Chain A
Amino acid sequence: MTRFRLPIGGYIALAIAVAVMVLPLLWMLLASFKGQDEIYSLPIQWLPSSFGGANYQAAADAVPFGSFFLNSLITTVFGAGIKIVLGLMTAYALVFVEVPFRKFFFGLVIFALLVPQQIVIIPNYTLVASLGWLNTYQGIIVPGLASAFGTFLFRQHFLSLPISVLEAAALDGAGHWRRLWAFVVPMSTPTIAAVALVSVVTEWNEYLWPLLVIDRPNMMTLPIGLTLLQNTDGVTNWGVLMAGTVLVTLPILIVFFVMQKKIVAGLTAGAVTG
Chain B
Amino acid sequence: MTSTATRRRGRMARNWLMFAALAGPNILLLIAFTYKPLLQSFYYSTLQWNIGSSRAISVGLRNYTDWLTDSQTPHVVGVTVVFTLATVGGGMVLGLSLAVLLNRRLKLIGPARTIVVAPYVLSGVAVGLLWLFVFDPNFGIVAAVLGFVGLPSPAWYNDPQWALVMVIIVQLWKNVGYIALIYLAGLQAIPKDLLEAASLDGAGPVRTFRRVILPLLGPTTFFLSVTTLLSSLQSFDIIQAMTKGGPLEGTTTMMYEIYREGFVAGRAGYSSAVATILFVVLLIVTLVQMRFVERKVHYA
Chain A positions within 8 Å of B, measured between CB atoms, are 1-2, 7, 10-11, 13-14, 17-18, 20-25, 27-28, 31, 39-44, 86-87, 89-90, 92-94, 97-99, 105, 108-109, 112, 114-127, 129, 142-148, 151, 176, 180, 201, 204-205, 207-208, 211-212, 222-224, 226-227, 230, 236, 238, 241-242, 245, 248-249, 252-253, 256-257, 260, 263-264, 267-268, 270-272, 274
CB–CB B101/A99 < 8 A: no
A148 — which chain B residues lie within 8 A by C-beta? 30
One of A42, A112, A123, A257 near B139 (C-beta < 8 A): A42
User: Across the two chains, which residue of chain A brings its CB closest to B189?
Assistant: A272
Instruction: Given A23-B141, A115-B38, A116-B234, decide whether A17 and B126 contact each other with a Cβ distance below 8 A.
Output: no
B91 — which chain A residues lie within 8 A by C-beta? none
CB–CB B271/A105 < 8 A: no
Taking CB atoms and an 8 Å cut-off, the chain B residues in 1-35 that contact chain A are 12, 15-16, 18-19, 22-23, 25-27, 29-30, 32-35
CB distance from A110 to the nearest CB of B (A): 10
CB–CB B18/A24 < 8 A: no
A109 — which chain B residues lie within 8 A by C-beta? 26-27, 30
A256 — which chain B residues lie within 8 A by C-beta? 117-118, 121
One of B34, B118, B125, B283 near A207 (C-beta < 8 A): B125
Answer yes or no: B134 CB below 8 A from chain A CBs.
yes
User: Across the two chains, which residue of chain B brings its CB closest to A16?
Assistant: B101
B98 — which chain A residues lie within 8 A by C-beta? 17
A271 — which chain B residues lie within 8 A by C-beta? 182, 185, 220, 223-224, 227
Answer yes or no: B61 CB below 8 A from chain A CBs.
no
CB–CB A212/B263 < 8 A: yes
CB–CB A124/B119 < 8 A: no
Answer yes or no: B241 CB below 8 A from chain A CBs.
yes
User: Across the two chains, which residue of chain A brings its CB closest to B279?
Assistant: A119
CB–CB B144/A44 < 8 A: yes
Complex CA distance for A22 and B122, rounded to whole angstroms: 13
The 4 closest A-B pairs by CB, nearest first: A123-B37, A146-B29, A93-B22, A120-B37
CB distance from A252 to the nearest CB of B (A): 6
- Range for the number of chain B residues in contact with chain A: 35 or more
CB–CB A97/B52 < 8 A: no
B129 — which chain A residues lie within 8 A by C-beta? 226-227, 230, 241-242, 245
One of B32, B134, B234 near A27 (C-beta < 8 A): B134
One of A21, A227, A268 near B115 (C-beta < 8 A): A21
CB–CB A146/B33 < 8 A: yes
User: Across the two chains, which residue of chain A brings its CB closest to B226?
Assistant: A274
From B67-75, B78-86, B106-114, B158-166, give the one contacting chain A.
Answer: B106-114
User: Across the two chains, which residue of chain B brings its CB closest to A225?
Assistant: B125
CB–CB B133/A89 < 8 A: no
CB distance from B255 to the nearest CB of A (A): 6
B58 — which chain A residues lie within 8 A by C-beta? none
